[in-house]
Amino acid sequence: MNSSILYVITGPTASGKTSKAVALAKAINAEIISADSRQIYRGMDIGTGKDLEEYGDVPYHLIDICNAGYRYNLFEYIRDYKSAYDNIKARGKNIILCGGTGLYIESILKGIELPLVPENTELRKELANKSLTELTEILRQMKTLHNVTDVDNCKRAIRAIEIQQYYQDNPEIQIKTTPHPLKNALVIGIEIDRENRRNKISQRLRQRLDSGMVEEIRSLIDNGISPDDLIYYGLEYKYVTQYVIGQISYDEMFSLLEIAIHQFAKRQMTWFRGMERRGTTIHWLPYDISDDEFIASVRKLAAGAVDLEQNK
């Protein structure tokens, strides 16, 4: 297969992205770069669904690169992605970008470059006592809110305002963030119907709890990670932490978490549909297709992409 193509495999949680990416990687001599905003953290294994045994002998990148409690951001992801990409490319191997964090994937596909925005201590003091609603409205006046995760808590909203203020104060920096879309990307979406997705999410949640997810989070807290830092990561880490520290019961934790993951998968699909509206072509393949059929379909799409590029 053509090594100039960036293969992207994405889709909602529980769609089976990783297993499909691994099967493809073995077939085309590729390495995998993760596009998951939480799998970067060490020790956060069960809750983020790393399933590292799935990779077998396929090399992977941008997993387990930060300590739990750290606040990793998009700037760092783009920087680390480029480093991993260059490293793999230098060894002449194909590259698969795989994950469900739409912001990361779309930023790479658009070729966005971000400056390192410093902390604005005075601005943070001004915003410190404002409610999430007030912060959201301030941010809304500064930018169009495409990414709802900008404003799911006060700390993220304040950081988003800080970044926008930096751009306003430094217009020459803003110009450098103009996207330069990639021309050699083949984006594959793993499509799963709502009912099967919901069933797989519920089944996987039970499996993770049976596999020691509560114990994993209790261990992180025992090792000095604050509950607030874990709650910041959302989903499993929010609700299981609340259970561990006694804020909610086990049954409440399970129910609230199940609902939250279903809602998260719905938001992921909303993001992917938005990507399509914004010009990204996503080739959707069914989640229950066999690995051989999946690989054959990707090969056919890749050949078509190469022909299209050559005929331009």
Domain co-membership, 149 together with 295: no
Domain co-membership, 273 together with 294: yes
Domain co-membership, 133 together with 271: no
Domain boundary at 136, 151, 175, which?
Answer: 175
In a domain, 106, yes or no: yes
Overall domain count for the chain: 2
Query: Position 260: which residue type?
Result: A
pTM: 0.83
Pairing type for strands 94-98 and 185-191 reads: unpaired
In a domain, 215, yes or no: yes
Query: Position 4: which residue type?
Result: S
Structural domain containing residue 293 = 6-113+178-310
Q: b/e map of 95-111 (b: 16 or more CB within 10 Å)?
A: bbbbbbbbbbbbbbbbe
pLDDT of the residue at 310: 46
Domain co-membership, 140 together with 246: no
pLDDT of the residue at 307: 52
Domain boundary at 129, 151, 175, which?
Answer: 175
In a domain, 93, yes or no: yes
Residue 17 is part of a domain; what is its CATH number? 3.40.50.300
Domain co-membership, 216 together with 100: yes
Q: Per DSSP, what are the bridge partners of residue 190?
A: 285
In a domain, 1, yes or no: no
Residue-wise pLDDT for 226-266, tens only, equals 999 999 899 999 999 999 999 999 999 999 999 999 999 99
Q: What is the mean pLDDT of residues 278-288?
A: 97
Residue-wise pLDDT for 155-169, tens only, equals 878 988 998 898 888
Domain co-membership, 207 together with 253: yes
Domain co-membership, 186 together with 240: yes
Domain co-membership, 270 together with 302: yes
Domain co-membership, 301 together with 289: yes
Query: Position 310: which residue type?
Result: Q
pLDDT of the residue at 311: 46
Domain co-membership, 137 together with 285: no
Domain boundary at 130, 158, 175, which?
Answer: 175
Domain co-membership, 203 together with 99: yes
Q: How far apart are CA 4 and CA 264, in angstroms?
A: 33
Q: What is the mean pLDDT of residues 122-128?
A: 94
Domain co-membership, 130 together with 257: no
